[in-house]
Amino acid sequence: MDKFILIDGNSIIYRAFFAMPPLTNSKGLHTNAVYGFTTMLLRLLEEHKPTHVMVAFDAGKVTFRHEGYQEYKGGREKTPPELSEQFPLLKELLRGFGIAQFELEGFEADDIIGTLTKRADEAGRQVLVVSGDKDMLQLASDHVHIGLTRKGVTDIELYDPAQIKERYGLTPLQIIDLKGLMGDTSDNIPGIPGVGEKTALKLLHQFGTVEDVLNGTAELKGKMKEKIEAHAEDARMSKQLATIHREVPLEQTWEDMQFAGLQEETAGPALAKLEFKSLLERLNFSGKVDAVEAVPAAEVKSTIATEETIEDLFASLETIDVIHVETHGDNPHQAELVGIALGSSEEYIFLSPELLQSKAASSVRAWLANSDEPKRGYDLHRVDLALHAHGIEFAGAAFDVQLAAYLLDPTESNQTISGLTAKYGLPSLVEDDTVMGKGAKYKVPEVEVLGDFLCRKAAAVAAIIPLQEKALESDEMNSLFHELEMPLSRILADMEKQGIKANTADLQALGHEFEEQIGRLMSEIYRLSGTEFNLNSPKQLGEILFDRLGLPVVKKTKTGYSTDAEVLEKLAPYHEVVQHILQYRQLAKLQSTYVEGLLKEISPRDGKVHTYYRQTIAATGRLSSQFPNLQNIPIRMEEGRKIRKVFVPSEPGWTILAADYSQIELRVLAHISDDERLKEAFVNDMDIHTKTASDVFGVKAEEVDSDMRRSAKAVNFGIVYGISDYGLSQNLNITRKEAAQFIDQYFEVFQGVRRYMDDIVREARKDGYVKTLLERRRYLPEINASNFNIRSFAERTAMNTPIQGTAADIIKLAMVQMDEALRERNLNSRMLLQVHDELVFEVPADELETMKELVPAVMEKALELSVPLKAEVSYGENWYEAK
């Protein structure tokens, strides 16, 4: 016999949300309510083995109930965004489960269920209704049983008419009268004030219905009588509101609810996507996305090559397009090679580093170096550098799984191969740590284990690729990936291998200068504070300044007194020592990070520093630089700027040439906001801060003084960062109110910018992500957070990311085009560094004139915007001179 289960979706997900502790997936999406719902659902399916299941949802904001009573559900708190974002997740999961979902514009879930149960009564079908709402009891009959959640969601109490009688002494229909008298605060149904469940039950036992109670008030006396007579109309209306509508125009039929049991192929991926690992296990589902495409780990064929077998093995592989090179060590220029696996789909061979270096593997090395042999793998940029460091050339990177993962979600922190197999529901991979250990315990296992492990990694990469290709296609990032990031990855590797020459002797000399000054400052500070202590310890410094010297506390940190530069500036007038501490801090930073730090990074082999650009870190699409960081070499302060003198050309007679974009972020903003005033400023190549000041303060450009320009500059920065009055007030040291006025005036003038800021936040709320001009995306799961701070942060990010990210897109384009231009013209000049809006080259004397024109020209036409891009070029004997 058929068994039907009808679930009140809204009611249950609400219950689940408040019953479950907070739970978020790796993307930051809340999943606790869906989780609670799912556990309840699975239990129902197991216990009742239904043949038909349906989940009903409310649809539309205004229901017919509002027509008679505007305040219906009025007092109710707005659905928390942490819950709202779970509705789409639940609906997708139900699709994966093959469970019908009904909704009807203008009606609530209980009306749909009311209608279906009436039909069930008429047709004699056995139905179970599941809800968290007691109102549902009014639907009970011999055919219709009601399951109400009890504490939490998985515990369900079943009611038939007999049990309702036992519990309340009422018939199912009298449940409506009960609510008519009591009301319901959660739905803003008034009822009769002062009448709770006890009184209402007594009245109903005595009279029967609301109408009978109202007609029979003569039999009552005292306060009770007065209250009921005064609120008779409320009671009638409340009863009406509590009555479930049982005749809605529902087109779906019983057939539409058929449930054939959970299918692993669809339910598994749905659960995997939500990261409900415990439920996958409970159901014994692997959670793989597609049984056909997935490579069962057990089927990977791995062969360990030896000097004797490598030639034959290599030749016997039909196609080789996947490689996995395992390296060890953070700095790819110094990384050890652990092993290499190559092959395709399910068949791989493994080579030890020794074998790869040996004469026997020369054809493998030739294949690696051949750019016409496309290679797909994980973090090929690192592979390229690590192999290069061991004298093995690498070319032909065609698909980098890490880079694709970064584009698909640049904030994903676990972009490892095993993280990706989990994300895509592929057969799981043993963690690196498990096989090799980590930190001091790191140990390469014996070759059989290692070879098998690396071949499995390669097979996992092969399985991930088609899924990423699909995702890149649907997110419209094919061109960004294949035409920008992949080519750039090779260019970065070239720049890093090339390196930039650093003059060790000059750097050491500078270090001696700093050393001397630091020594003087230290003794002076100790003398003035009357004691010796560890100046590098903010904790000890705080004790000296605030406890011993009694200076006023300006700001505190989580752990104690704050002693940062901003605080010290404010303390300077109180005590002579503070100025010295500021100077000490500055020099100590230069000494430890830029002199000592840089000296450690100069390669003894070629006297150069080889940084490593990370292409998959910054959430906005920027690069970052490590070992050493060459994107934060001092420039703002003269003492620090001297560090730049040690960066020199690597060939005698050559020149360092640098070109930087002028105001690229504000130009990007002018383009994407389409603000007429801002565009006009750039079309006419005006000084943007002066222009902003003159517009905002309403004075002529000539009348803008340095203070006004400074304020305007701060506002422009604020705009790019996603402005807030608080941030601006901090920066300009003015009150929040004044800052707010500034911002208002700015938006009054630059109305297109205001519109952009409003639109982009709205877009982020709607889509859950923002995009750059080249379709790079960044998800902002916190854009709907209820916490003000968290939400505000996401809103500023929504405003800033398209600007910073598009600027990053543009300079990356310029780098790819610059690389082509150098090749086309057979130039020997080399691109060495990128510093977000600046490119640094070394240029032979006979190419200087060409490069002075070429570099800015390429940068300026990298991407056409509605305003011109401007690049300014300079050159000299070292990086300091190229200013």
User: Measured from the CB of residue 643, what is the shortest distance to DNA in angstroms?
Assistant: 9
Residue (462 or 798) nearer to DNA, CB? 798
Find the binding residues for DNA in span 814-843 (CB under 7 A): 835-838
Question: Looking at 17-25, 152-160, 800-808, 873-881, which segment touches DNA (CB under 7 A)?
Answer: 800-808
How many CA atoms lie less than 13 Å away from 698 in the CB half-sphere? Answer: 4
> Should residue 500 be labelled a site residue for DNA when binding is judged by CB under 7 A?
no
User: Measured from the CB of residue 406, what is the shortest distance to DNA in angstroms?
Assistant: 11
Find the binding residues for DNA in span 635-654 (CB under 7 A): 635-637, 640-641
- Alpha carbon distance 467, 352 (integer Å): 30
Here the tokens at position 501 are 């020459």
Find the binding residues for DNA in span 525-544 (CB under 7 A): 534, 536-540
User: Measured from the CB of residue 633, what is the shortest distance to DNA in angstroms?
Assistant: 6
Find the binding residues for DNA in span 543-572 (CB under 7 A): 557-560, 562-566, 568
User: Measured from the CB of residue 21, what is the shortest distance to DNA in angstroms?
Assistant: 22
Residue (419 or 640) nearer to DNA, CB? 640
Find the binding residues for DNA in span 683-712 (CB under 7 A): none
Q: How far from chain centre, in Å, is Cα 11?
A: 30
CA distances from 587 to 505, 555, 582, 598, 880 (A): 19, 24, 9, 15, 18
User: Measured from the CB of residue 779, what is the shortest distance to DNA in angstroms?
Assistant: 12
Question: Looking at 39-47, 105-113, 264-272, 624-632, which segment touches DNA (CB under 7 A)?
Answer: 624-632
Find the binding residues for DNA in span 272-331 (CB under 7 A): none
Tell me the pairing of strands 838-843 and 830-834.
antiparallel
Here the tokens at position 50 are 């239904």
User: Measured from the CB of residue 735, what is the shortest distance to DNA in angstroms?
Assistant: 12
**Among positions 804, 806, 829, 878, the unique one binding DNA when judged by CB under 7 A:** 804
**Among positions 617, 686, 749, 827, the unique one binding DNA when judged by CB under 7 A:** 617
The single-letter DSSP state of residue 57 is: E
User: Measured from the CB of residue 254, what is the shortest distance to DNA in angstroms?
Assistant: 48
Q: How far from chain centre, in Å, is Cα 829?
A: 39
Here the tokens at position 629 are 């960081």
- Alpha carbon distance 708, 689 (integer Å): 9
Residue (449 or 637) nearer to DNA, CB? 637
Find the binding residues for DNA in span 724-783 (CB under 7 A): 724-728, 730-731, 736
Three state DSSP letters for 821-851: HHHHCCCCCEEEEECCCEEEEEECHHHHHHH
**Among positions 154, 626, 650, 745, the unique one binding DNA when judged by CB under 7 A:** 626
The residue written with tokens 């303060």 in the block is 697
**Among positions 196, 466, 597, 868, the unique one binding DNA when judged by CB under 7 A:** 597
User: Measured from the CB of residue 715, what is the shortest distance to DNA in angstroms?
Assistant: 7
Residue 220's H or E segment, with its range, is none
User: Measured from the CB of residue 333, what is the shortest distance to DNA in angstroms?
Assistant: 12
- Alpha carbon distance 256, 250 (integer Å): 12
Coil, strand or helix at 245: coil
- Alpha carbon distance 594, 584 (integer Å): 15
> Should residue 65 be labelled a site residue for DNA when binding is judged by CB under 7 A?
no
Question: Looking at 229-237, 364-372, 785-793, 839-847, which segment touches DNA (CB under 7 A)?
Answer: 785-793
Site size for DNA (CB under 7 A): 75
Find the binding residues for DNA in span 372-411 (CB under 7 A): none
C-alpha dihedral sign at 565, 571, 572, 578? negative
- Alpha carbon distance 593, 587 (integer Å): 10
Task: Provide the mask over 656-685, with x wherever binding to DNA is found by CB under 7 A and - wherever it is not.
Answer: ----x-------------------------
User: Measured from the CB of residue 584, what is the shortest distance to DNA in angstroms?
Assistant: 9
Find the binding residues for DNA in span 221-250 (CB under 7 A): none
The DSSP line for 342-404 is EEETTEEEEE-HHHHHSGGGHHHHHHHH-TTS-EEES-HHHHHHHHHHTT-----EEEEHHHH
**Among positions 266, 592, 684, 735, the unique one binding DNA when judged by CB under 7 A:** 592
User: Measured from the CB of residue 526, what is the shortest distance to DNA in angstroms?
Assistant: 15
Residue 767 neighbours by CB distance under 10 Å: 13
> Should residue 614 be labelled a site residue for DNA when binding is judged by CB under 7 A?
yes
- Alpha carbon distance 870, 704 (integer Å): 24
User: Measured from the CB of residue 713, what is the shortest distance to DNA in angstroms?
Assistant: 9
C-alpha dihedral sign at 62, 65, 70, 76? negative
Question: Looking at 194-202, 206-214, 756-764, 786-794, which segment touches DNA (CB under 7 A)?
Answer: 786-794
**Among positions 18, 69, 717, 769, the unique one binding DNA when judged by CB under 7 A:** 717
- Alpha carbon distance 243, 282 (integer Å): 40
Question: Looking at 137-145, 236-244, 720-728, 747-755, which segment touches DNA (CB under 7 A)?
Answer: 720-728
Residue (277 or 600) nearer to DNA, CB? 600
The single-letter DSSP state of residue 334 is: G
Supply φ then ψ for residue 770, to 5 degrees: -125, 165
Question: Looking at 157-165, 523-531, 613-621, 671-679, which segment touches DNA (CB under 7 A)?
Answer: 613-621
User: Measured from the CB of residue 331, what is the shortest distance to DNA in angstroms?
Assistant: 9
Q: Which residues have a Cβ under 8 Å from the Cβ of 743 and sit 6 or more positions away?
A: 715, 718, 723, 725, 728
Residue (121 or 838) nearer to DNA, CB? 838
Residue (84 or 632) nearer to DNA, CB? 632
Coil, strand or helix at 722: coil
User: Measured from the CB of residue 651, what is the shortest distance to DNA in angstroms?
Assistant: 26
Residue 338 near residue 353 (C-beta atoms within 8 A): yes
Residue (296 or 781) nearer to DNA, CB? 781
Residue (282 or 556) nearer to DNA, CB? 556
Residue (252 or 662) nearer to DNA, CB? 662
Residue (526 or 717) nearer to DNA, CB? 717
**Among positions 132, 628, 752, 802, the unique one binding DNA when judged by CB under 7 A:** 628
Find the binding residues for DNA in span 75-114 (CB under 7 A): none
- Alpha carbon distance 62, 404 (integer Å): 44
User: Measured from the CB of residue 545, what is the shortest distance to DNA in angstroms?
Assistant: 10
Supply φ then ψ for residue 491, to 5 degrees: -65, -40
User: What angle separates helix 688-697 from helix 676-683, to the nearest 10 degrees?
Assistant: 140
User: Measured from the CB of residue 617, what is the shortest distance to DNA in angstroms?
Assistant: 5
Residue 168's H or E segment, with its range, is helix 161-168
